[in-house]
Structure 1
Amino acid sequence: MTSFALPLRSAPGVFFIFLFYFNYLVPIWALPPGVYAIINNVFSHEDEALVITFNGINEPVTVTVWTDDPAQHWVIAGDDTMAQCVSPEGAQDLQPAWGDHFVTVLLGVNYVWTIKNRGTGYTIQDGGQTVFWGVEDAVAGAGVTIGAGTSSETQKWSFESI
């Protein structure tokens, strides 16, 4: 009879290396579906949390001070290992889309976004993972930009379940 316990006990380093690689070097899967406030990793100059806010159809989304206003609630839907749909909670027939250097909200036609945990925050990218959501400056009213990755904390987000 062969025992598998001895080889595992004799090589804990291999298991540790696997867990380290799995948890830190490989991006963590996307966000579970639900309703969230999407908070920028960089707080305002007044040390206030800035969240993505829906401003209406064909309007750019902005970051505003978190007040838990319904316009700050976003529905994340879809398989959490693939690109996901994002919609304002009060207008789920709409979805964020590419605007002119900013994220805008249009009638939903399967705009999808890749939301990945990168260890220090989530990134939100297009389905092909070529551009990132971010803010140029962490101030209330700033538009949510869409552009090339910079590795800046202003392109990282946290999600607070509503």
Structure 2
Amino acid sequence: MSVKLVLPLAAAALLAGCATPPQVVRSGDPAFANGKAVALAATQATPLDRARPDQAAALVVARLGGRTVEPAAADYLMQVAFSELPKGVGVMRDGAGSWLSETRRRFGLRRAAYAVSITAIETKTGRAAFSATATEPAHGDPAKAVDRLVAAALAD
């Protein structure tokens, strides 16, 4: 092989190794809302500057398959948050201290992460019918990360 071919192939392999799919911690079935009435719960969360405040919530409601109603008439209230986790923060797999997403280190550097958290609360009982958190290392435009994270959190 020529040197001109080896260098681009090595760079492509290195970049492909950097792209990792979002990691998801989920409880419940994402199909819980099919045909049900859902509403967004009011939230005080502050979104990232470049991500629209309602982007993650709108994507979640659109992908759930339920119909959107006012909170008083809803079967489920949805809490949706998109945030940037500081360097070194991970996501717990369970209450026993098992980490699903540890601090990622590349070349000895810690990285921040983007996260989408979704919780569906059944209005009649107040119990969580579904919850999911999807995380990925922070890179690129946060508005594009929202799409990937919501899709991963709601994947079957």
**Shared fold per TM-score greater than 0.5:** no
TM-score with structure 2 length normalisation?
Answer: 0.28
